[in-house]
Amino acid sequence: MSEWRTDECGGEASDLIGEIDVIPGNPDTLRRIERLQFAVDRTPHDWQSRVALAQALAQNGEFERSVLHLRTSVELVSERQALASIFFNMGICLENQEQWGQAVAAYEQCAFLIPNLFWVHHNLGVCLHHSGNLPYAIDELRLAVALDSEVPDVHQSLAEAYRDAGMLRDAERACRRLLELNPDSLWATRALHDIHRRIN
């Protein structure tokens, strides 16, 4: 699943949230949630504290509560990059709950605000694939490749979408590119074997 990140948005928003590991019940995270909840209760219009609380909740696996705080934060923010960051991370939380349609909507909002973020197009493509919209998923994943062709994840996601759309030659090319970037990819090796079996 996708990781919580704002490093691509740049600016002040990137100082608020980094990548997270979801470790439910971690005592440090629970203390942080308690401290941040107190800060939010004291100053409910402080969107930065609210977003930090959302991050801590996501780290604790509480994605539904995290989304609630992110939705409230959207009402409090006008700065473009910070707003894009909030929508992106809302998409992450919704994706982790497998709420694909809502995740698509959140990622689309982020892409509208900042169009050239690699990860938003990658994640949008993955969610569109899961929601059954393969043509649009492929378009988004191709755009992600155009933005950064050196990330192995995007070639695997694109190969999966091509394969499910019956575009086996394109899937084969995406698998070969994945193997160039990650020669140890067991997924790509198995997928190529399956694709060759289906083509022949």
* Domain positions in the chain: 1-100, 115-200
Structure tokens at 6: 């704002």
Q: What is the structure's pLDDT at 19?
A: 54
Give 123-180 pLDDT, tens digit per residue: 999 999 999 999 999 999 999 999 999 999 999 999 999 999 999 999 999 999 999 9
Place of tokens 């939010």: 40
Q: What is the structure's pLDDT at 199?
A: 87
Q: What is the structure's pLDDT at 17?
A: 39
Domains 1-100 and 115-200 share a fold: yes
Cβ neighbors of 72 (< 8 A, separation 6 or more) are 50
What element of type H or E holds 182? none
Q: What is the structure's pLDDT at 20?
A: 63
What element of type H or E holds 5? none
Q: What is the structure's pLDDT at 7?
A: 42
Class of domain 115-200: mainly alpha
Q: What is the structure's pLDDT at 8?
A: 42
Splitting the chain (200 residues) into consecutive groups of 10 residues, what average pLDDT does each group show? 46 42 88 96 95 95 96 94 95 96 97 95 98 97 97 97 97 97 96 91
Is domain 1-100 given the CATH code 1.25.40.10 in the classification? yes
